Every structure is written in structure tokens, then in C-alpha cells.
Amino acid sequence: MVNPPVVVTIAGSDSGGAAGIAADLTTFAALGVHGACVVTAVTAQDTTGVRAVHPVPLEVVAAQLDAVLEDLDPIAVKTGMLAGPDVVRLVARRCAGRILVVDPVLVATSGAVLGSAAVAAAYREHLLPVATVATPNEDEFEALGRPSGANVLVTRGGDIETDNDHGTGCTHSSALASYLALGDDLATAAARADAFVARQLHVSRNWTLGRGRGPVAHVHTSVPPTQGVPA
Ligand SMILES: Nc1ncnc2c1ncn2[C@@H]1O[C@H](COP(=O)(O)OP(=O)(O)OP(=O)(O)O)[C@@H](O)[C@H]1O
Ligand SMILES: Cc1ncc(CO)c(N)n1
């Protein structure tokens, strides 16, 4: 293979580097796909919560998306925080027909609202119908009105005991998009994404970054990069 598959994330930034664009691009890098990014909002956020949200104007989101779609022709698209109903409709219109992983980000781990009722309605009406797979957590599943269909994978926590789970949902949906871009069918990609996230949660389980719920490890592995390399 000469080129890696291209996957684009359409999501918000997290200044703490745990969720959103930071999680997405580092997960793409860890799994060997090229990541492009369309930023929908800037959040002032850390391990303890969200302090401020600044949405990017619709025309600037559209310009980023046009640039990526026209030049890099991504095989897969992953969506995270879309910030407004107009952005949800734009993404549905422009990305239908590609591998489309929709993580309907509505509520942060800390409880902060990252998507309004109008955003949830736009997901239901416009984006879920064209998604390859959607990955709401239980709260998002309820907020979306319990959508049905084989392509709705409701995510739940697992066996790893850790306080460092900020960004888990973003990492999971980015891993899913990466495996689909690399050619896996949905069942295989879903199983591999679960296993990837479980391994990453294990890697960061003893980290003590920040004063709240710390970041899940993204590109980090339990093997130090210098191990096995002659000095
Ligand atoms: N403690 C855990 N042990 C193993 N796997 C986990 C654990 N927590 C989460 N996962 C994996 O990650 C996936 C996504 O987790 P979860 O549904 O908790 O994310 P989320 O609530 O969307 O997260 P966030 O909003 O913080 O990004 C789960 O479906 C599961 O595969
Ligand atoms: C920017 C951003 N996207 C998604 C989430 C969901 O965890 C978050 N906390 N912040």
C-alpha cells in the first residue's frame, strides 16, 4: 500500500487534549490512517469540566470540509461535537455516501451540554439516516429518542477500572472509523475498536494527569518507544 487511507474528523477541540480533535487525530495516527480535521468549535476544557464553548461559524466549517473533500477524498468520515443543527445538516448533505461514523456528542463526561435539543433533532432527521454506524452512549441514545436500526451501537463502559476515561467515546468512534477505512466489515471493526479502547484504558489506568477525570491514552502503548532500540 503506497498511501494510507484518509479519514476526516469533524469535531470540536478540547484544550486538555483528551477528547474531540486531539483524541481523534492521535487515534488515527496510532492506527495508521492519515487524519484530516474540520474544527466545529473551540472548547476551553480540562479534566474537571468545560469552561467555555466557542462555535466556529458555519461558513468556516463548510470551507474546511470542502477543502478536505475536494483535495484528499477521504474514504471515511467521523463526526464528534457538531455544535449546531446547521452543521449537522451540512455534514449530512456533504458526507452521505462515504463511510460515515457518527458519534452524536451531546453531553460531556462531566455533564456539560455540548449539543442542544435542536442538534439532537437534526441528528435524528438528517444525519442518522445516512450514517454507516452511530455510537451514542446511553444518555445520547435517550436524547436522540431511542433510534432503532442495526447501525446504532449504544456504547457502555467496560471492565477496566480507571478514573482516566475522558475522551473514551471519541477514541472509540475514531478507532471504529479507522478500522472501517482499513477494510474491516462493521462487526470486525466494532470488535477491534472495543479491544483498542480497552487496551488504551489499561495503559493510562495509573496516570495522575489533572485533578479530575484524566485522559485515556491515545497513541501511547505500554512499551516505551526506546525499548529494544540500541543506544
Ligand atoms: N472501563 C472500560 N473498560 C473497557 N472498555 C471501556 C471502558 N469504558 C469504555 N470502554 C469502551 O469504550 C466505548 C465507549 O465508552 P463510553 O460509552 O463510556 O464513551 P462515552 O460516554 O461516549 O465517553 P466520552 O463522552 O467521555 O467521550 C465502550 O463502548 C467500550 O467499548
Ligand atoms: C470537544 C469535545 N468533544 C467531545 C467530547 C465528549 O467527550 C468532549 N468532552 N469534548
Nearest protein Cα to ligand 1, atom 31? 194
Cell of 41: 468549535
CB-CB contact of 40 with 11 (8 Å): yes
**6-203 is a CATH 3.40.1190.20 domain:** yes
Which ligand minimizes its atom distance to the CA of 157?
Answer: 1
134-167, pLDDT tens digit by residue? 999 999 999 999 998 879 999 998 899 999 999 9
Residues with CB under 6 A from ligand 1: 19, 109, 137, 155-160, 165-170, 172, 194, 197-198, 201
* Predicted interface score ipTM higher than 0.90: yes
How far from 143 is each of 11, 35, 112, CA to CA, in Å? Answer: 19, 29, 14
> What is the DSSP secondary structure assignment for residue 174, as one 8-state letter?
H
Nearest protein Cα to ligand 2, atom 4? 20
- Decide whether any atom of ligand 2 lies within 6 Å of the 170 Cβ: yes
Residue 177 has pLDDT above 60, yes or no: yes
Q: 3-state DSSP helix/strand/coil percent for the chain, to nearest 5?
A: 40, 20, 40
Q: What is the mean pLDDT of residues 52-78?
A: 98
Q: How would you classify residue 20: left for phi > 0, otherwise alpha for psi between -120 and 50, otherwise beta?
A: left
What are the residues facing 36 on neighbouring strands?
Answer: 8
- Decide whether any atom of ligand 2 lies within 6 Å of the 64 Cβ: no
Cell of 28: 488515527
pTM score over 0.90? yes
Which ligand minimizes its atom distance to the CA of 215?
Answer: 1
CB-CB contact of 120 with 114 (8 Å): no
pLDDT value for 115: 83
CA atoms of 162 and 103, how far apart (whole Å): 22
pLDDT value for 196: 97
Domain ranges of the chain: 6-203
